[in-house]
Amino acid sequence: MVFKALFFLAVICFSAVLVSAENEQDPGLVMNFYKDTCPQAEDIIREQVRLLYKRHKNTAFSWLRNLFHDCAVESCDASLLLDSTRRSLSEKETDRSFGLRNFRYIEDIKDAVERECPGVVSCSDILVLSARDGVVQLGGPYIPLKTGRRDGRKSRADVLEQYLPDHNESISVVLERFGKIGIDTPGVVALLGAHSVGRTHCVKLVHRLYPEVDPALNPDHVEHMLHKCPDPIPDPQAVQYVRNDRGTPMILDNNYYRNILDNKGLLIVDHQLAQDKRTKPYVKKMAKSQEYWHKEFSRAITILSENDPLTGDKGEIRQHCNVANKLH
Ligand code: HEM
Ligand SMILES: *[C@@H]1O[C@H](CO)[C@@H](O)[C@H](O)[C@H]1NC(C)=O
């Protein structure tokens, strides 16, 4: 009896050792992954995001949009940040990435981190944490997020369109694509609330204005859009755009939901979100309650930020966020 118990104990201890050895190699994503290797990492990133925000408010919009464009395409691996090479096209240069900006400032954040802890903190964690800290700068909720992501080595430009919906995609397709990464209907509705800040260029809007005005649009808003986008075929060089949320353009809040219920959504997807019977109930609820929107937004951002990361010994810690490391 005693022998049997001891034997069991030994088995349990042994398997615990095995499990912990495995965990040591690859704990996956964890809270404060850099606590021993670079304890200041999260503070440095937060401070850089704050300083950049003071100089250029729109950097915070970019950090938030980056999280979507990187993490929704197969993996949060900072593949979005890679420049084109002779052999491969950058994700940044595809049509879906239109309007993405401020990439050079990501390097400022990376440089600040590298000065303290060279070669330790990944660009993918910087991408995710900068989005988190940007949300706070914009008046959104603070979202605790795990770290430990590593950087991919290749552009995912060739598959990007399978993951990122177009501006005029149907709600069915949008729900299906987010559903595949574990984000449910209220989560999708909450994420689109990101369109409460930033801008949309006329090239993505003119099809709702010319040759005739989309009758679904609020006439007051049409006047404003026509004023901002006077040409049916916008000059690609001209920086012509409409702000996503005319009410509180610089604040990440639930005003987006009131806008789309008022037929002031700029993109077809924004408009449809307030029409479709699957999404409309959540739109109404988020329009009424900032608190409910914060809760769902935080939950969805967390899931998005944990989409199939490279961890353990997969991938690498990039030296510069725009190029993969040279292999020796
Ligand atoms: C169905 C999904 C989505 C579609 C089709 C979509 C499409 C777009 C388009 C066409 C623009 C305008 C770009 C421009 O003209 O400069 C835009 C802007 C933006 N999007 Fe989305 N988006 C989607 C979801 C998201 C999500 C999930 C987030 C973040 C969580 C996000 C964050 C943003 C931000 C912050 C901007 C403003 C960027 C700036 O002003 O620099 N979007 N989006
Ligand atoms: C969406 O807009 C693009 C142009 O941006 C167009 O080529 C495409 O046919 C449109 N798709 C749908 C479903 O209307």
326 located within any domain:
no
76 located within any domain:
yes
pLDDT at 216: 97
* CB-defined site of ligand 2, < 6 Å: 166, 168
Q: What average pLDDT does the chain have?
A: 94
**pLDDT tens figures, 33-56:** 999 999 999 999 999 999 999 999
56 located within any domain:
yes
Residues whose CB is less than 8 angstroms from the CB of residue 5 and which lie 6 or more positions away in sequence, other chains included: none
Mean predicted confidence (pLDDT) in 261-282: 98
The CATH number of whichever domain residue 93 belongs to comes to 1.10.520.10
207 located within any domain:
yes
Ligand 2 atom 11, closest CA = 168
Q: Is 253 annotated as a binding residue?
A: yes
Instruction: Please give the Cα distance from 265 to 217 (Å, whole number).
Output: 8
Question: What b/e readout covers 149-159, taking b as 16+ CB neighbours within 10 angstroms?
Answer: bbbbeebbbee
Instruction: Please give the Cα distance from 67 to 60 (Å, whole number).
Output: 11
Catalytic residue at 294? no
As a 3-state breakdown, the chain gives helix, strand, coil percent values, each rounded to 5, of 50, 5, 45
Based on the fold, state whether residues 133 and 153 are members of the same structural domain: yes
Residues whose CB is less than 8 angstroms from the CB of residue 139 and which lie 6 or more positions away in sequence, other chains included: 251, 252, 253
Percent of the chain with pLDDT over 70: 93
pLDDT at 327: 87
Helix intervals (H) in 97-218: 103-116, 123-137, 160-163, 171-180, 185-192
Instruction: Please give the Cα distance from 218 to 237 (Å, whole number).
Output: 28
4 located within any domain:
no
Show the domain range for 68: 41-163
Ligand located closest to 166 CA: 1
Based on the fold, state whether residues 152 and 202 are members of the same structural domain: no
Q: Is 79 annotated as a binding residue?
A: yes
Nearest residue to 77 via CA among 166, 165, 156? 156
Based on the fold, state whether residues 139 and 96 are members of the same structural domain: yes
Ligand 1 centroid–CA 65 distance in Å is 6
Based on the fold, state whether residues 156 and 175 are members of the same structural domain: no
Based on the fold, state whether residues 111 and 48 are members of the same structural domain: yes
Residue 18 has pLDDT above 90, yes or no: no
Mean predicted confidence (pLDDT) in 27-37: 97
φ/ψ of 122, rounded to 5, equals -75, 155
190 located within any domain:
yes
Based on the fold, state whether residues 155 and 177 are members of the same structural domain: no
321 located within any domain:
no
Residue 7 has pLDDT above 70, yes or no: no
Structure tokens belonging to residue 105: 């400032």
Residues whose CB is less than 8 angstroms from the CB of residue 39 and which lie 6 or more positions away in sequence, other chains included: none
Domain stop point among 118, 138, 163: 163
**How many domains does the structure of the chain reveal?**
2
Ligand 1 atom 7, closest CA = 167
φ/ψ of 241, rounded to 5, equals -155, 165
Maximal CA-CA distance, the chain: 88
pLDDT band with cut points at 50, 70 and 90 for residue 21: very low
Based on the fold, state whether residues 155 and 180 are members of the same structural domain: no
CB 88 within 8 A of CB 154: yes
Which of 56, 69, 167, 224 is flagged as catalytic?
A: 69
pTM of the model: 0.93
SS3 (DSSP) at 151 = strand
Domain stop point among 116, 142, 163: 163
pLDDT band with cut points at 50, 70 and 90 for residue 13: very low
273 located within any domain:
yes
Helix intervals (H) in 154-275: 160-163, 171-180, 185-192, 219-228, 255-261, 268-273
Residue 326 has pLDDT above 70, yes or no: yes
